[in-house]
Amino acid sequence: MKLRKASAAVAAALVLSVTATACGGDSSKDSGSGSGGGGKIKIGIKYDQPGLGLKEPGGSFAGFDVDVATYVAKELGYGPDKIEWVETKSADRENALARGDVKMIAATYSITDERKQKVDFAGPYLLAHQDLLLKADSDIAEGTDLNGKNLCSVAGSTSAQNVKDSIAPKANLKQYSGYSECIAALQSGAVDAVTTDDSILAGFAAQSQYKGKFKLAGLKLSNENYGIGVKKGDSATLDKINKALEKMVKDGAWDKAVQDNFGPANYKNEPAPKIGNVVK
């Protein structure tokens, strides 16, 4: 009798197991590939970059990086209401991914060999170029007269060092935590130039309060390949993001995002880069 009862119990357990699997109880299924598993996805962006990543007064978010990340998240199974935007400053991007604070980062995150030692990159999804933003009446000639002048950049970025290495080794570097602080310093005269990617500078210059006050120097001091950063070794997420980016370009959503965010600034963007093609 005891043996029969045990056999019946085992049989019942097997039936329950099969039933659970048939009803979608497979715990190995990736929650990011369907409806997002009912949870949310945390995405790191900038909060202070008009045209790219900006937190607006009403609490909404706008910009090219935001549009790209929103499209990618949807392809991973997360609608706009399932996205939690997390402010990720330049100096903290690698740490935010390593800590697991965010699943991915789309924050004007240039792909470099040094950064690839710490994180993995999907993309690139935009090719920008480093430039200088000057006051409209500045007499700095194409960025060549920056020696002895005050040059502003953001802590954690590579832009200022590029300028010092290439055209102005004696420029006085001023570093702030955000680009908006650099722009305010340029407007007040506390600095003579701001350096970062032309896409970022164009976004600021196009804002209504700054219209006509600034100009781009028109330099192409570097190639900035924007990638979406993920935690080192997360190849599954990386592959899904790359497929989403390819689809975004193919269906025209990438071109629309460029026009929506950079069109007002008359920004001359490069064509959509090919996934994996990092321009040196």
Structural domains in the chain, CATH included, are 36-127+224-265 (3.40.190.10), 129-216 (3.40.190.10)
Q: Is 70 exceeded by the pLDDT of residue 273?
A: yes
Is residue 173 classed as helix, strand or coil in its secondary structure? strand
Q: Band the pLDDT of 182: cuts 50, 70, 90.
A: very high
Q: Which tokens belong to 82?
A: 């399932």
Weakest mean pLDDT among 70-79, 189-198, 206-215, 267-276: 206-215
Determine the distance from the C-alpha atom of residue 275 to the mean position of all C-alpha atoms in its chain, rounded to a whole number: 15
Neighbours of 24 (CB within 10 A): 8
110 vs 6 pLDDT, higher one: 110
Q: Band the pLDDT of 265: cuts 50, 70, 90.
A: low
Distance CA 197, CA 219 (A): 10
Q: Band the pLDDT of 101: cuts 50, 70, 90.
A: very high
Tally of CA atoms within 13 A in the half-sphere of 130 that contains its CB: 23
Model pLDDT for residues 1-43, shown as the tens digit of each residue: 444 444 444 444 434 443 443 343 333 333 333 345 569 999 9
Distance CA 210, CA 122 (A): 34
Distance CA 6, CA 1 (A): 9
User: Residue 273 to residues 160, 169, 175: CA-CA distances in angstroms?
Assistant: 25, 32, 30
Q: Which ranges of the chain would DSSP assign to H, the alpha helix?
A: 2-22, 64-75, 93-99, 113-116, 159-166, 179-188, 198-205, 235-250, 253-262
Full DSSP string of 19-38:
HHHHTT--TTS-TTTTTGGG
Q: Is 80 exceeded by the pLDDT of residue 142?
A: no
Question: What is the model's pLDDT at position 149?
Answer: 93
Q: Left, alpha or beta for 105 (phi > 0: left; psi -120 to 50: alpha)?
A: beta
Q: Mean pLDDT throughout 141-154?
A: 85
**Pairing status of strand 172-176 against strand 150-154:** parallel
Question: What is the model's pLDDT at position 30?
Answer: 37
Model pLDDT for residues 38-80, shown as the tens digit of each residue: 699 999 999 988 999 999 999 999 999 999 999 999 999 999 9
Which backbone phi and psi does 158 adopt, to 5 degrees?
A: -100, 0
Whether 84 and 204 have beta carbons less than 8 Å apart is answered as: no
